Structure 1
Amino acid sequence: MTKRSRTPLPGWLWLMVAAGVLTQTTANLVRPVTSYKLILLGWGETEIGLATAAYALLPLFVALPFGRLQARLRSPRNFVALGVLILAAGAAYLAVTNSVVHLMVASAVLGVGHLMFTIGGQSMVARRSKATQMDANFGWFTASFSVGQMLGPLLSGFILGGSSLAQAQAGGADLSFSINLALWVGAITSLIAVPVLYILRSTQPPPPTATQDLVTVEAGTKPSAMNILRLPGIASHMLAALALLAILDILVAFMPLVGESVGVSPMIIGALLATRGATSVLSRIFIRTLSARYSRNTLVLVSLIVSAAVIAVVPAVLGLGPVGIATAFVCMTIGGFTLGVGQPLTMTMISQAVPRSWRGTALALRLMGNRIGQVVLPIAASVVAGPVGPAGGIWFACAILGISGAERLINKRTGPNPPVS
């Protein structure tokens, strides 16, 4: 076991964590509320699947150019702040429109803002972190995402109340005001991140790294998508990252539908999603301890297989009364913890599988792969959910997790971490 020194988190990382909490609270408040807005307007699984795909469609085309841009910027602060403003604009756009086409466009705007923040943030972590600090720093940065994934659904559930839409409408209540209020709250929450980001000192240079590249390539080779994907392990790591992110998106989009189908209120659905986020925060806080004891390959494999197994249980038991709801919370607790482990480790694994100068582009390519999954998989999930019901969409995402885990087993990606030189 490699001895890890306990060093305090740098100030720039705390600021990025704070901004991450605010922006991810917005994203994870707005996205399930968008599903409820579509349900209220009379739309179903197909439209919700399309809205989820629209969130990732435009970012799919700009992820790689944005990653290359980050490699050339001295400081990504202005880029990240612009992303926050676009995120807020997308949330506000969702609040003011009732057109399904405009809702799709607004979801795409929201996705671009989220992408810009994520690319800028992960680029900063990759550039400013030593190899021995990378697991911990990515863990803290992604922990801020999990905090937002916890707070956003809690806020949405609190604002929308303890009755399902069908129950509220049967009682004569109009939830359109509450839905639009929640979207405006999301827009305002993300705007608070802008002054937080500007506390960062743009003239502060990244600290020098104390390690050599773990991977070298022939001089003059450009960091194109194909050249990155040819490097050993990259495609497998990106498949794992795609699967781990897809399940989060599909849970956020389809859990409201599952809840409505069995008469479970938005408050309980919000609490379930928040439980997933909270336990992911916990696992990411302890990511340094876990990666010191176990190899990254082992942890990612456990993340994929265990998450697939326990989350698949949630839609199956949710409609079985109090015992079923309690079981769903237990499964979300376990699944949230294991899901939280995988994402930051895939960031480290991709960063260390390419030359240092390629890291920004490689991480952007990872996001591009994630966005392909966010476009294709929700649409595929909605197709599955058509004949099977909304639970089918979640089971489909769990199957993708299982396939990614099987690929890693077949290709024997279960070895130790690469040595730090």
Structure 2
Amino acid sequence: MTTGWRMTLSVQAVLAQASWVGIRVIIGYRALSEGADAVFLGVLASSFALPALVAALPSGRLADRFGGPVMTLVGLVTAIAGTVTMLAFRGLSVLLAASAIIGLGNLLVIVGQQAFVAHVSHGDSPDSAFGTLAAAASTGQLIGPPAVTLAASLGAPTGGQPDTTIGLLVCVSFSALAAPAYLLLRLTDARISGGRQEASSDPITVGDVLKAPGLWRSLVVSGAVLVTVDLMYAFVPVWAAEQKVSAAAVGMLLGLRAAISVLSRLGLTRLVNRFGRKVMIISSITAAVLSLAILPLVGLWGAVAVMVGLGLGLGIPQPLTMAWVVSLTAASSHGAALGLRMTVNRLAQITLPIAVGSLAAPVGVLGIFWANAALLVGAIAVLAGADTDPRASQEKNYRHD
């Protein structure tokens, strides 16, 4: 049964993420065809993240009450509705509204899947289950853009802009194919996590969640790592322009980084059992710091090694910080805690890239990547004083008593 829900969740995560990143790519072409400028494209990108600032924690509470699979299904339907809105109506204002709807749908999917993993792995080490979810999501991020852009290009006139209608239809298909997984995941959730509704009937506030000892540390580390992914996508092209590296090579490098991240999440449980969650997170972030520090100084072939380091440094911490959040909170508030994690991540994604870019831009690409490395060094400092596996510590103290 464990294998069954893991496989079902993985397929759902691959399809949902393929749809999500496919939309993120194709909507830019849609906006350009509507006459959008660079400023509008920036606003459009932000509109995807904004729903999480207000809806992440409430969606986590709902996941605690009704179950992660329910929230995931609602999220998939919401994302489909937003995509269909773009297909049915034209105009830049429609794109903004539809992207916010799709962003809300993606938020519900992510929180729902994470809450499901937290509930069904309660009492066991959640690192492996979160590693499976993160690896599947990364696989979807690898599949989505080429699948959607290829389909859109095949439907376009020779040498013309991609057919965004076909691209959006592919995204809708991915989301629709992900929806039936709800049935098995719901049955599994009901069997393993029975009684959750009664346990979470009292409203859970942000203050209640933040009372968990050390939770703020996990949120800071998580946000720093996730922002690094965004900064990398934003500024690697700047490095490439300075080094005269082609766009095709940049795509291959970023694909290599994503593939290494997928591979790094396989077998995490054995590594965590051997070295500990804290050692694994610090070691991986250290690899990312070194890679960011070196990147501005190397050319194409040196960047291959850098992307391997970034793949490890950005791939390992994300599932482990999710497991860390879960280990700090009660079962009845896992969804709320993961929703709060999502809120902090989105806030960091909106604010920190602007701050890093503004402060480091006068120095050039060197300053940007070194500022990002300094941000991760700060995350390591925050992590140094943390207990990343309080349950294991409690069991150890109990055995010594």
TM-score range, shorter chain: 0.7 to 0.9
How much does 1:326 deviate?
A: 3.0
Residue 124 in structure 1 maps to residue 105 in structure 2: no
One-letter amino acid matched to 2:137: F
CA distance in 1, matches of 2:250, 2:89: 24
The correspondence for 1:226, drawn from 203, 207, 217, is 207
Residue matched to 1:246: 227
CA distance in 2, matches of 1:385, 1:150: 30
CA distance in 2, matches of 1:391, 1:86: 41
Residue by residue over 1:349-402, the C-alpha shift from the partner in whole angstroms, topping out at 9 and shown as x without a partner, is 111112222222111111111121122234435645875678876665444323
Contact 2:63 2:70 in 1 (8 A): no
The correspondence for 2:76, drawn from 84, 109, 113, is 84
Q: Which piece of structure 1 moves more, 273-282 or 261-270? A: 261-270
Residue matched to 1:280: 261
Residue matched to 2:190: 205
How much does 1:13 deviate?
A: 2.3
CA distance in 2, matches of 1:92, 1:254: 32
Residue matched to 1:142: 134
Q: Which piece of structure 1 moves more, 32-41 or 142-151? A: 32-41
How much does 1:341 deviate?
A: 1.0
The correspondence for 1:196, drawn from 181, 186, 194, is 181
Residue matched to 1:30: 23
CA distance in 1, matches of 2:224, 2:25: 20
CA gap 1:291/1:56 in 2 versus in 1, 3 angstroms: same
CA gap 1:347/1:203 in 2 versus in 1, 3 angstroms: closer
Residue matched to 2:277: 296
CA gap 1:413/1:117 in 2 versus in 1, 3 angstroms: same
How much does 1:115 deviate?
A: 0.8
Residue matched to 1:66: 59
CA gap 1:109/1:363 in 2 versus in 1, 3 angstroms: same
Contact 1:53 1:379 in 2 (8 A): no
How much does 1:234 deviate?
A: 0.5
Residue matched to 1:4: none
CA gap 1:139/1:414 in 2 versus in 1, 3 angstroms: closer
Residue matched to 1:365: 340
CA distance in 2, matches of 1:415, 1:244: 19
Residue 112 in structure 1 maps to residue 93 in structure 2: no
CA gap 1:86/1:328 in 2 versus in 1, 3 angstroms: farther
How much does 1:184 deviate?
A: 3.9
CA gap 1:315/1:233 in 2 versus in 1, 3 angstroms: same
CA gap 1:107/1:401 in 2 versus in 1, 3 angstroms: farther
TM-score computed with the length of structure 2 as normaliser? 0.80
Residue by residue over 1:310-359, the C-alpha shift from the partner in whole angstroms, topping out at 9 and shown as x without a partner, is 14555665xxxxxx333323322221122111111111111111222222
Residue 305 in structure 1 maps to residue 286 in structure 2: yes
CA distance in 1, matches of 2:242, 2:273: 44
CA gap 1:252/1:285 in 2 versus in 1, 3 angstroms: same
One-letter amino acid matched to 1:291: V
Q: Which piece of structure 1 moves more, 150-159 or 53-62? A: 150-159
TM-score computed with the length of structure 1 as normaliser? 0.77
CA RMSD of aligned residues (A): 3.7
CA distance in 2, matches of 1:244, 1:291: 19
Q: What is the SS of the residue equivalent to 1:133?
A: coil
CA distance in 2, matches of 1:178, 1:258: 31
Residue matched to 1:214: none
- Segments of structure 2 that go 5 or more residues without pairing to the other structure are 195-200
How much does 1:137 deviate?
A: 0.9
How much does 1:98 deviate?
A: 7.7
The correspondence for 2:379, drawn from 401, 404, 416, is 404
Residue by residue over 1:150-193, the C-alpha shift from the partner in whole angstroms, topping out at 9 and shown as x without a partner, is 223444675688xxxxxxxxxx943x325664444333222211
CA distance in 1, matches of 2:369, 2:85: 28
CA gap 1:52/1:418 in 2 versus in 1, 3 angstroms: farther
Residue 186 in structure 1 maps to residue 171 in structure 2: yes
CA gap 1:334/1:408 in 2 versus in 1, 3 angstroms: same
Contact 1:48 1:253 in 2 (8 A): no
Percentage of pairs with the same residue: 29
Q: Which piece of structure 1 moves more, 233-242 or 107-116? A: 107-116
CA distance in 1, matches of 2:91, 2:62: 34
CA gap 1:377/1:109 in 2 versus in 1, 3 angstroms: farther
CA gap 1:259/1:109 in 2 versus in 1, 3 angstroms: farther
One-letter amino acid matched to 1:144: A
One-letter amino acid matched to 1:240: V
CA distance in 2, matches of 1:350, 1:59: 18
Contact 2:116 2:189 in 1 (8 A): no
Residue by residue over 1:213-258, the C-alpha shift from the partner in whole angstroms, topping out at 9 and shown as x without a partner, is xxxxxxx997421232233211010111111222223444555676
Q: What is the SS of the residue equivalent to 2:101?
A: helix
